[in-house]
Amino acid sequence: HLVIGRSGASTVAELTTIGRPAILIPYPNATDDHQSGNAHAIDEVGGGWLINESAFTADALAKRLDSLFGLPAVLRRSAANARASGSPDAAIDLANLVSDMMSNDANGNGPTSGGDAV
């Protein structure tokens, strides 16, 4: 499966978690142009292809699709690259980190007292 879509953080996280190659078209008016950065990151690891909105035409898309569908090994490799770049356990890792931070003081020593002086 090849995904064609925008490159918001949630989309990119989902694509890398499930290992789907994508043609990503960053939304040019996104805050701080973050979608371009997301799309560049996927493009750089070989997990997909970036097409700027200004170049995203029916003809450009048709040419890209024609070349990709003729090379299934490229799509498989891109899917593997996308998955390898993801962090499928990120939510669990973050929850564990927050839990650890809440149960330790600034020096990493045992449970905090909740602010009460002893």
Model pTM? Answer: 0.76
User: Beta partners for 24?
Assistant: 5, 50
Name the CATH topology of 3-87: Rossmann fold (3.40.50)
Q: For the chain, where are the alpha helices, taking DSSP H only?
A: 9-18, 34-44, 58-69, 72-85, 90-103
Q: How far, in Å, are 26, 64, 77 from residue 87 at the CA level?
A: 21, 28, 18
pLDDT digits (tens, 9 = 90+) for 10-69: 999 999 999 999 999 999 999 999 999 999 999 999 999 999 999 999 999 999 999 999
